[in-house]
């Protein structure tokens, strides 16, 4: 009996891991664990030991009380702390090695692959321009590529760029590189180590993009993404390295898209310093060199005449501003000022003056009513008069800018018919004529116009009186006219005449100013100057 108990005790000691332990803590049940065999709490029957399950992580085990025999097998980590209560396993900082005898073949092969040395990366300045293949083993793909040439680009700024290239594509695309590669093959015995160099490159990046274009299947799509400015740079390199396919692709793209003014100037400079077959770039040159267009002088006069005949006020204002920009000396559209035919321009002035005379005749009923109503007028008379006055003032500005306005002074001074009708016309109409006289006086006073003394006295004699009558209306409806500048200019112009002529005009002004006050221009300063010159200094000289 004692022996039996001893055997049972020994067997129980050996099978202790499969039985539920008695916990000293106040837990209702022990936590589940892979090492705990579930058994009934009332019947403590002994069951045969089962083979422990395979663990997914061989380096870490759930802790459970086990005999020292398992430590010998290496199944349980000897560094674990075991306690009789709820046990929290403490893993070591470093992962443990796998259990002996449970490694599969997959893990071994993976380890072997990872332990092999990786292929060295290419040099930082090297770049492969061969199209990428589907990702496979790195060593195999590098063998498949025929990168048998290294091209070194040295820029004038000191930059250096090395490209790994396929020599077959490079030689097929460019006769320039074909000669360099052939020369390099003669000097180097090992064909796999060929290296060529291009020194003195203006722009390394543009040169590299030109090389990339050789390996592009769709050159037009690449150029669309690059833009016109980069395409012009690539075109210049194509001309230097004799890359005909790239040159034709660039010209085709450049001709088909709009250009900015900067890009247009860049193209002009390129064609000026390069030799290109005109048959290839004919379409591009046609956009740069208008050989068959009309002469600019005749075309400019036609544009001016079209503006004066325009019926829409807003459109006429926009076109006038556009033509001013085209004719301006500081225009961005013309490196040299556009010449104008003086006779053609004065013909336009005569046409506007004739229209103005007819409008005043219509206003004064000087022409029969049947002729006056023969054509239906869609615009009021005042608006039509104002339009012709604006045209004449605009033409005067152009003539002054082109230094051809001297004859306009004489032309305006000899308008006897308009001067005669001015006295009889309504103030709402006649003050429009004084707007033309005001611009002439301002130009003379600001020294923009130089004409003989006889011509200056002639225009003052003709239009000084009407100006005194219309000055009040000009103040109320100036339409952008600087009245103070007009007063100063009138005084300065009068002072350029002979003293006797000055006296005639100042006496006329004095009488008008005494009767109308501020409705007349204030010429007091000029009057005082004339008085000192005529009387004070003369008396002092006599003394």
Per-residue pLDDT band at 185 (split at 50, 70, 90): confident
- The confidence score (pLDDT) of residue 279 equals 83
- What is the spatial distance between Cα 343 and Cα 397, in angstroms, rounded to a whole number? 16
Query: Stretch 107-124: mean pLDDT, rounded?
Result: 34
Res 294: pLDDT: 57
CA dihedral 490, 491, 492, 494 (to 10 degrees): 90
Rounded Cα distance, 512 and 519, in Å? 9
List for the chain the helix, strand, coil content (%; round to 5): 60, 5, 35
537 pLDDT band, cuts 50/70/90, is low
At residue 406, does pLDDT exceed 90? yes
Phi-psi region of 242 (alpha: psi -120 to 50; beta: other; left: phi over 0): left
Residue 161, beta-bridge partner list: 153
Alpha carbons 11 and 247: distance in angstroms, whole number:
95
Assign 134 a pLDDT band (cuts: 50, 70, 90): very low
Q: Is the pLDDT of residue 91 over 80?
A: no
**Top-confidence residue, 271 or 114:** 271
| Tokens standing for residue 201 | 């490159």
pLDDT confidence bin for 299, thresholds 50/70/90: confident
Give the residue carrying structure tokens 């308009």: 418
- Give the tens place of pLDDT for each residue, 251-280: 999 999 999 999 999 999 999 988 888 888
Highest mean pLDDT out of 20-29, 49-58, 290-299, 510-519: 510-519
> Residue 194's closest CA among 148, 152, 153, 129?
148
Query: What span, in angstroms and rounded, lies between the C-alpha atoms of 58 and 98?
Result: 5
The strand order across the sheet containing 149-155 reads: 126-128, 160-165, 149-155, 194-201
pLDDT of residue 326: 84
* Strand 160-165 with 126-128, pairing: parallel
- Whether the pLDDT of residue 493 is over 80: the answer is yes
- Rounded (10°) CA dihedral 344, 345, 351, 352: 170
Segment 452-474, tens digit of pLDDT: 999 999 999 999 999 999 999 99
Averaged pLDDT score across all residues of the chain: 76
Q: What is the DSSP letter of 519?
A: G
Span of 83-97, 399-413, 442-456 with lowest mean pLDDT: 83-97
What per-residue confidence (pLDDT) applies to 347? 95
Look up the pTM and report it: 0.60
What local confidence, expressed as pLDDT, does residue 48 receive?
45
CA distance 236 to 239: 5
The secondary element (H helix, E strand) that includes residue 75 is none
Cα atoms in the Cβ-side hemisphere of radius 13 Å centred on 10: 5
């Amino acid at each position: 009996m004692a022996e039996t108990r001893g055997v049972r005790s020994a067997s129980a000691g050996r099978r202790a891991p499969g039985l539920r332990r008695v916990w000293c803590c106040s837990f209702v049940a022990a936590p589940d664990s892979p090492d705990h065999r579930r058994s009934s709490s009332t019947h403590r029957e002994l069951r045969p030991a089962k083979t422990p399950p395979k663990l997914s992580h061989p380096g870490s085990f759930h802790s459970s009380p086990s005999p020292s025999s398992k430590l010998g097998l290496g199944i349980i980590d000897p560094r674990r702390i075991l306690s009789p209560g709820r046990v929290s396993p403490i893993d070591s900082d470093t992962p443990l090695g796998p259990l002996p005898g449970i490694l599969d073949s997959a893990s071994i092969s993976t380890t072997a692959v990872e332990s092999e040395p990786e292929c060295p990366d290419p040099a930082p300045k090297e770049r492969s321009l061969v199209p990428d293949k589907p990702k496979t083993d790195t060593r195999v793909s590098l063998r498949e590529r025929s990168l048998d040439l290294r091209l070194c680009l040295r820029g004038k700024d000191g930059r250096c760029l090395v490209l790994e290239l396929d020599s077959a594509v490079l030689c097929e695309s460019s006769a320039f590189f074909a000669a360099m590669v052939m020369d390099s093959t003669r000097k180097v015995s090992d064909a796999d180590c060929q290296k060529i160099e291009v020194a003195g490159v203006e722009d390394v990046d543009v040169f590299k993009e030109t090389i990339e274009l050789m390996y592009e299947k769709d050159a037009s799509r690449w150029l669309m993404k690059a833009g016109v400015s980069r395409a012009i740079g690539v075109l210049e390199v194509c001309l230097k390295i004799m890359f005909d396919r790239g040159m034709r692709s660039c010209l085709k793209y450049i001709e088909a898209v709009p250009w900015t003014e900067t890009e247009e100037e860049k193209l002009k400079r390129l064609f000026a310093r390069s030799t290109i077959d005109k048959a290839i770039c004919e379409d591009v040159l046609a956009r740069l060199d208008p050989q068959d267009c009309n002469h600019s002088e005749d075309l400019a006069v036609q544009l001016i005449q079209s503006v004066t005949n325009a019926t829409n006020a807003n459109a006429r204002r926009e076109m006038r501003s556009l033509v001013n920009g085209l004719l301006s000396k500081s225009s961005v559209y013309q490196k040299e000022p556009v010449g104008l035919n003086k006779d053609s321009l004065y013909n336009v002035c005569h046409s506007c003056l004739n229209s103005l005379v007819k409008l005043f005749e219509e206003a004064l009923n000087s022409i029969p009513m049947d002729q006056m109503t023969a054509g239906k007028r869609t615009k009021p008379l005042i608006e039509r008069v104002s339009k012709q006055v604006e045209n004449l003032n605009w033409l005067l500005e152009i003539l002054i800018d082109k230094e051809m306005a001297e004859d306009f002074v004489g032309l305006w001074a000899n308008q006897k018919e308009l001067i005669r009708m001015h006295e009889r016309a309504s103030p709402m109409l006649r003050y429009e004529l004084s707007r033309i006289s005001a611009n002439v006086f301002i130009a003379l006073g600001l020294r923009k116009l130089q004409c003989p003394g006889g011509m200056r006295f002639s225009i003052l004699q003709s239009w000084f009186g009407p100006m005194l009558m219309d000055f009040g209306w000009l103040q109320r409806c100036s339409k952008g006219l600087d009245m103070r500048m007009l007063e100063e200019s009138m005084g300065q112009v009068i002072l350029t005449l002979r003293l006797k002529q000055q006296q005639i005009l100042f006496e006329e002004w004095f009488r008008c100013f005494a009767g109308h006050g501020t409705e007349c221009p204030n010429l007091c300063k000029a009057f005082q100057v004339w008085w000192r010159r005529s009387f004070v200094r003369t008396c002092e000289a006599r003394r």
